[in-house]
Structure 1
């Protein structure tokens, strides 16, 4: 088979391609970063980081750039590809991310932290920083994690069932306004037709997943795989008997958890305990 002919000579890696297109479009239009700031409202630093590959920016910024350059939805499409690109995740998680994006249903139990698909940028940043990330790498991983949430969006989004230990909802962020935003996000997510949230309250008793957060992915070929994680590493479990054993434990704690309606009421009560941001 002949070698694939390079048509444009531009990068085939989504994140680099996105940054490259931003630089080319601005050069063609003759804008400076400062001019973009004046016209679109975001800082020159924001655009500079996006063009340098240090940041992907937000979809709002990208849509504004598409309008400014008259590129339809081209930049937004490239942004979506960059956000979903598994190569931006740490190597040990890349296979899981590929499977997560292809799963036809997901189940999760979290005993200490929120699943990445339910995290706000502020929650992800604080959690990843506690894990030792900082600077550019931290911001890239925050963007990658938040970008995963697109898996649960749209008419064909897979069903996602998540059981949260009460401890997850008690371990607040340092910033109370940011924590309030996170709780509001979980509550809003629980109202989506494809997302079901259960809360496992204190006092439910000991169970088989006490120290094992786990996510189950049902795949197109009918298989179900599980992903378990601790502070050191994550493990993809594909052995059928081991997956079934984890599923039986999961079913037990689902039966111990509050109903979805009771869980939403519980999260609302949690919100009432968090003070609103003081007025200035």
Structure 2
């Protein structure tokens, strides 16, 4: 194999877009700096140059140096292969448990942490199906439709982050979950007919869970208290809560009791205006039958 062919085989930064480290993510930077330092020390202890090591793991020298410098997020296959090449006995591969959390944007990690602690989650969505309810195909189509477009790797990274939040459905004891979705959103075949059908089936599946209340806001409703936009309310075991609405308090999260009462009033009114849970599931089933 010629040097030119070998160089063409190695993954470079151009092949791996979207895995840069957010400099404002202090915890993420700390994790990746530590992992990168361990990789570099083990590589040097093995007497391997960066280019030689890169060739062994299937990456270019530039990528190796960026990962060792804590500037890039290594993939799991990189860590697994590095573990084998450096005979680390699983110690390098084990760092994936921390690295895989860093690959999610800081904002998504923080949201996922709050959702994992909440005993009640209430969410009204007006433009999309709530991320907690999205199938992988639907999430990929929604995120991929953004303008300007994300890179393919960024899309997959964001999809993975969104799906990771859905572990909330596996919690024991289960939290109380309430969703209100717009009829117009459910009628839009994002991602094509097959993806749309899978998404509707997912809504029916989740809507039948004992701890979930799923409602649809019909387009025929002539009074609508959710026109200001999305509302999210999270309540925690200690009695505290946090809420956010696109149309209130500059869209920022709030834990002020007075603000929370306003959001609870709006959300309660929206639920009263929406179809009942039974009617909502029947409506979704009807939509599914029309596809």
Give the TM-score normalised by structure 2: 0.63
Q: Deviations over 1:210-264 (max 9, x none)?
A: 131111100122112113359xx96312222112111101111111111111111
Contact 1:96 1:236 in 2 (8 A): no
Give the drift of 1:123.
1.0
Say whether residues 1:238 and 2:255 are aligned partners.
Answer: yes
Give the match for residue 104 of structure 2: 89
SS in 2 for 1:269: helix
Q: How many residues are matched?
A: 210
Give the match for residue 213 of structure 1: 230
SS in 1 for 2:252: strand
- The structure-2 alpha-carbon separation of the partners of 1:89 and 1:210, relative to structure 1 and needing over 3 Å to count, comes to farther
Q: For 1:268 and 1:150, how far apart are their aligned partners in 2?
A: 25
Q: For 2:191 and 2:159, how far apart are their aligned partners in 1?
A: 17
Deviating more after overlay: 197-206 vs 262-271: 197-206
Give the drift of 1:137.
1.5
Give the match for residue 61 of structure 2: none
Gapped runs of 5+ residues in structure 2? 1-29, 40-56, 59-73, 80-89
Give the drift of 1:205.
2.2
- Which of 113, 117, 124 is 1:98 aligned to? 113
Gapped runs of 5+ residues in structure 1? 1-10, 21-31, 34-47, 54-70, 275-280
- The structure-2 alpha-carbon separation of the partners of 1:147 and 1:92, relative to structure 1 and needing over 3 Å to count, comes to closer
Deviating more after overlay: 127-136 vs 143-152: 127-136
Q: Deviations over 1:57-109 (max 9, x none)?
A: xxxxxxxxxxxxxx9xx98xx76x776x3x44333444333211211110111
Q: Which has the larger radius of gyration?
A: 2
Give the drift of 1:173.
1.2
SS in 1 for 2:174: coil
Give the match for residue 130 of structure 1: 145
SS in 1 for 2:110: helix
What does 1:259-274 correspond to in 2, within 5 Å? 259-274=276-291
Q: Deviations over 1:148-196 (max 9, x none)?
A: 1111114322111111111221122131001100110011011111111
Give the match for residue 273 of structure 2: 256
Give the match for residue 122 of structure 2: 107
Alpha-carbon RMSD across the aligned residues, in angstroms, is 3.1
Q: For 2:190 and 2:251, how far apart are their aligned partners in 1?
A: 24
SS in 1 for 2:242: strand
Contact 1:173 1:179 in 2 (8 A): yes
